[in-house]
Structures are given as structure tokens and as C-alpha cells.
Amino acid sequence: MSDQIGRSGVIARFVGKTFVAFGFILGIYGLTEGHETIKQTALGLLVAGVLAMAYGMVHWVIHRGVTNDRNGSNKS
């Protein structure tokens, strides 16, 4: 998979998925316990995870195949 997307795209997608998962876990804990700081941290993790996954998607679109040119100017 790293050959298709590139190393930074794979790392961004992994970090994004991890941040989103921990964001949901902390968000649920913050809602059940009522800690405002934990809820804000969870929201920050969710936003950071979504941004990291968006970066991975943009990196894939730019470097891989959705915007392929017929003239052979693809970077692969």
C-alpha cells in the first residue's frame, strides 16, 4: 500500500484513523463524566484526525491516479 500512496500518505491516514478513534473514546468518557477539558481535547483529536485523513486523500489524488493525464505526465 505504501507504493501506491506514498509513505507520507500512509502515515497521514494511519495517524488520522488513530486520532479519530481516540477522539471518540475520550469524547464518550468526557460526556459520561462531565469533564469539559476532556471533551475539548476529544474534539481537537477528532478535528486533527479528519484533517490528517484529508491530507492523505489529497496526497493520493495529487500523486496517484484520480488526476491522471493522458500525456504520460503522471508522477508514478
Closest CA to 26 of 48, 46, 12, 54: 46
Residue 18 maps to a domain: yes
Domain that holds residue 55: 2-63
Say whether pLDDT at 74 is over 80: no
pTM exceeds cut of 0.85: no
State the average pLDDT over residues 26-50. Answer: 92
Give the model's confidence band at 18: pLDDT under 50 very low, under 70 low, under 90 confident, else very high: very high
Which helix (DSSP H) or strand (DSSP E) does residue 9 occupy?
Answer: helix 7-33
Q: With respect to residue 17, please indicate whether it lies within any of the assigned structural domains.
A: yes
Answer whether residue 50 shows pLDDT above 80.
yes
Q: Does residue 68 fall inside a structural domain?
A: no
Total domains, the chain: 1
- The pLDDT value recorded for residue 34 is 87
